[in-house]
Structure 1
Amino acid sequence: MADADFSPAPRPAHRHPLARPGYGKRTAPEQAPRRRGDFAHLRPREASIAAFIDRLPEGAAMDAKTLAAQLPDYGQAACLTALRRLSEAGHLRRVTERIKGDGGSWHWVTRSHFSRTARDDAWWTAFLAGNVPAPRDRSRSQPEAKAPARSYAYDALASVGRTDPRMTLSAADCAALEELAAAWLARGADEAELVRTLTAGLPPEVHCAGALARRRLIDKMPPEPAPGPAETPLRMLECTICRAPGRPEALPGGICRDCRGEPPLHPLHGVAPDGVRARVAEVRAAVGARPYVTRGR
């Protein structure tokens, strides 16, 4: 009797839900290479969720509801608390950004920028303004990070297999295709567009992912952008918890005053409600005006 194959049939790869086009996770630039202990400074729950988010593809939905549906150990409230702590620790910011659509029209999208390397408020403020600072010198605190960091193009190629395992690229493939991927990014494509190009309409079996990726990167290369004045990206920070918009200085740690549990400021003068009368008296005294007296009717 012929030998029977009792091995189970392979299950289809599980895919994390993607956000609407233009939305979802965005990997922050200028990160240190991934290594063990990236999130050791966080609490165990936050470290676990951060490691999960770090491996999600570009454009993945990473709101608390979606994360809770994908992580059976944590509920929605736990995931929301974890997102808050990741924001306070400098790993996460929610940003509303103005982008140009396929038809040339502009529209606003909300993106969750995630950084494996913790950033302070000053770095995120510079990023919001489109001024990404130079990589910091980590030689004293992290001597093991002296190896050259991988490029954004390399990381984009390495993420393709997480979207569709049929297009998993080896380290050699990523290195060989890095220059082509960098050309895509230089011509205005983002990581999500590159990944979609390499994973759309695949045959049932892919025998050589590297060769197929090279063919598609060459054949579908975007045109060179027309010369013109550089456009500063328009971005607005949002509270990680309630998504209230605000200036970076009003959202330290990416969290608004209400979600931090602090008393609200007066919308015009930056004074708490219980201090408005005292502040008015100070201003009147400074300009030599008579004290304000409440008169009865």
Structure 2
Amino acid sequence: MATEKLSPGLPAPAASRPYAKAHHGYGKRTAPGQRPARAADFALLPERERYVAGYVDRLPDGGAMDVKSLAKALPLYGQMAVGSALRALGVAGHLRRVRCQVVEAGQSRWVTRTYWSRTARDSAWWDTFTRNGGHQTSPCAEPAPSAAPPPPRTADAVPSPAPSPAPAEQSSSPVVPQQRTAAEETPAGPSPAYLALARLGRREPRLALSAADCALLEEAAAAWLERGVDTEYLTRALTAGLPSHVDSPVGFVRRRLRDKIPPRLPAAPSPAASDVPVRRVLMECTECGVPGPPEALPDGLCRSCRTPSPEAGAPTPVEVPEQRDIHALVGSLRNLMQAP
């Protein structure tokens, strides 16, 4: 009788939920100059902040960093707890929210990006990074695609040794002058203006030109190309509106090359200051999202969020009402009651 073979291995865990991805240009961005990940990262933080920081640190760049998305991915805490944890992580120097104004093609938009640093940074470092991107790239600049790394060098890819010089006995033959190669002897090909004139007869038989005609008109056709037009524009201008019969193709083309030559276009003006993309950078309060200059938000918090709230058990001062004339008050009430 066959017996069932039991495996001591544990069943494979279920596939984890994919990370929520933010819109293009938003979401998490990793700050530069961090140390490699270690097992003791965030060990000094409280349990809730350590739990949220571990998830955010594993989150890839571009992942959603808003409170709602994080609370949906972290089942142990709700939105208020996650928001408080992000505030504490900002005070600890791991997180900053940066708002960038980007003006392109006459349209302005604000982009909020969340920067994360595994290594805790002080407010001075974050202020410098917000202004000039930490000596690397501007926080508002899109990351440029990195170049592909060179292929790894394997042990089999051994460089071949350089050829050893010929023995002295073999160099006793007389020195022969170096001959010119065939490429040097081959004359340069025809110019684009010459080719455009040579193809006129294939496109329009009434303007068929000989080799001598093309050489004669080549300089006049090259003047067209120097003014910024291409050979297709030149061909259309020469073949448009032809009469039913052309007695002298070379004379007809010479006349059109002289009379219809396009004007010289002025050089393209340099872009005005208003056309250059404008980027302004502001830091956002981690707690309430109020924007401001980096120096006005130490630890990533605005002034109102840094001010400690009054304790819940503290007695609230009661305003004492001013002394009033009781007799006058009673008299006025009697008069009101007697009124119709």
State the TM-score, normalized to the length of structure 1: 0.50
Please tell me whether the aligned partners of residues 130 and 233 of structure 1 are also in contact (alpha carbons under 8 angstroms).
no
**Equivalent of 1:258 in 285, 304, 310:** 304
Please tell me whether the aligned partners of residues 123 and 133 of structure 1 are also in contact (alpha carbons under 8 angstroms).
no
**Equivalent of 2:54 in 51, 54, 66:** 51
**Equivalent of 2:130 in 128, 131, 141:** 128
- Which residue is equivalent to 2:143? 190
Q: Quick one: which amino acid aligns to residue 237 of structure 1?
A: M
- Which residue is equivalent to 1:241? 287
Q: 1:121 to 1:132 in 2, by over 3 A?
A: same
**Cα distance in 1 for residues equivalent to 2:63 and 2:28:** 5
Please tell me whether the aligned partners of residues 103 and 279 of structure 2 are also in contact (alpha carbons under 8 angstroms).
no
- Which residue is equivalent to 2:99? 96
Question: How many residue pairs end up in the alignment?
Answer: 175
Asked if residue 32 in structure 1 is aligned to residue 35 in structure 2, the reply is yes
Matches for 1:274-293 after TM superposition, within 5 Å: none
CA RMSD of aligned residues (A): 3.7
Q: Quick one: which amino acid aligns to residue 281 of structure 2?
A: R
**Cα distance in 2 for residues equivalent to 1:29 and 1:232:** 24
Structure 2 residue ranges without an equivalent (≥5): 5-9, 147-151, 153-270, 310-340
Please tell me whether the aligned partners of residues 288 and 305 of structure 2 are also in contact (alpha carbons under 8 angstroms).
yes
Shift in Å, 1:47:
1.1
- Could you tell me the percent identity over the aligned residues? 47
Q: Quick one: which amino acid aligns to residue 24 of structure 1?
A: G
**Cα distance in 2 for residues equivalent to 1:11 and 1:40:** 28
**Cα distance in 1 for residues equivalent to 2:277 and 2:106:** 14
Higher mean displacement: 21-30 or 7-16: 7-16
- Which residue is equivalent to 1:114? 116
Matches for 1:145-164 after TM superposition, within 5 Å: none
Shift in Å, 1:34:
1.0
Please tell me whether the aligned partners of residues 242 and 259 of structure 1 are also in contact (alpha carbons under 8 angstroms).
yes
Structure 1 residue ranges without an equivalent (≥5): 135-151, 153-187, 195-209, 211-227, 264-297
Is the radius of gyration larger for structure 1 or structure 2? Answer: 2
**Cα distance in 2 for residues equivalent to 1:27 and 1:63:** 15
Shift in Å, 1:28:
0.6
CA-to-aligned-CA distance 1:108-140 (integer Å, 9 cap, x gap): 210010100100010011001115169xxxxxx
Q: 1:231 to 1:122 in 2, by over 3 A?
A: farther
SS in 2 for 1:234: strand
